[in-house]
Amino acid sequence: MSESQVSVVIVTYNSESVIGDCVRPLSRQDGIELIVLDNASADRTLAVLAEEAPDAVVVRNEENVGFARGVNRAALHAQGRAILLLNPDARISPRDVLALAGIFDESPEVGIVAPTLSQPAGRLQIREGGRRPNLVSVFNHFSGLSRLSHRHPRFEGLYLLHTHDFATRELDWVSGACMMIRKQTWDELGGLTERWFMYAEDLEFCLRTRQHGMRIIMSAEQTGTHVVGGSTGPSTSKKPNPAWVINLYDLYKWKMARNRVQSVAWKASVAAGLLSRSVAFYMKSLGAPERSGLWRSESHRFLWYTRSLLGQSSRIDEVAT
């Protein structure tokens, strides 16, 4: 990518607590342009941006239009030969940004690359990428069979696991928290779907990229961090947001399910897995009184995800493509 820039696209919403650490390393770096779209933040997000990244192109929305619409609007300003989608709660060095972009020069068949992300909190045991969300991959993941994937790839699930050795490899999807896209691929596919306000649009774009004949790579040589959940701003709701699993189910019905039987089976597999996690956390709360509050909170969270998913219709409204 020696001839042109990488356009780093960030969408913010009440992100003052995280945006500074995100943009500071990337500001005023040769070969990198920063484009930030703000979804009508009510905090000091814009002030922090002005302090930490005065060179950034800032696009202001008058209302919160969500992630996909925000990204698509911001990407209209991109001048680089690659677009890096970056969450405000994600971190990556400028060296790794340019190294990721170099993969496009070396491998013209690659349409998307991503670093290997870690979660500082250490709670998640999954990598932010994996296999397409079909019946097999969700069953492997939610049943626990994916723990055997180091023995045979047939057991790989929706997410790869941190517990297994990892090398640079081709995947079906990577997370939009830190995902670099060849600009030509972005233009040919027309950007992210705006079907959802937030969640699943990155996975859907990856599926289209694969259908377009391009490869998706997660690199073990380039790394970043992601404070999962830090991009959405503070929430006033006491209930966890189930949009990730609702939209994932909608994606499956829209793009992959061939009949209602498959739709019901997918929902049942995922709901059973979520419910089993709720029960497991509840049992932990009984055995560890000093942390019972934490484990019961986790139990309630997964129970809410289960109920939210089961409340969705299994009807297939569109023919899978």
In tens digits, the chain (321 residues) has pLDDT values of 444 689 999 999 999 999 999 999 999 999 999 999 999 999 999 999 999 999 999 999 999 999 999 999 999 999 999 999 999 999 999 999 999 999 999 999 999 999 999 887 655 578 889 999 999 999 999 988 888 888 888 888 999 887 767 789 999 999 999 999 999 999 999 999 999 999 999 999 999 999 999 999 999 999 999 987 655 555 555 689 999 999 999 999 999 999 999 999 999 999 999 999 999 999 999 988 888 898 999 999 999 999 999 999 999 875 444
- Candidates 79, 97, 82, 88; CA nearest to 37 is 88
Distances (CA, A) of 238 to 20, 247, 301, 304: 27, 20, 10, 11
10 Å CB burial of residue 93 (0-12, 13-18, 19+) is middle
- Candidates 46, 109, 72; CA nearest to 202 is 72
Distance of CA 217 to the CA centre of its chain: 15
CB atoms within 10 A of CB 154: 10
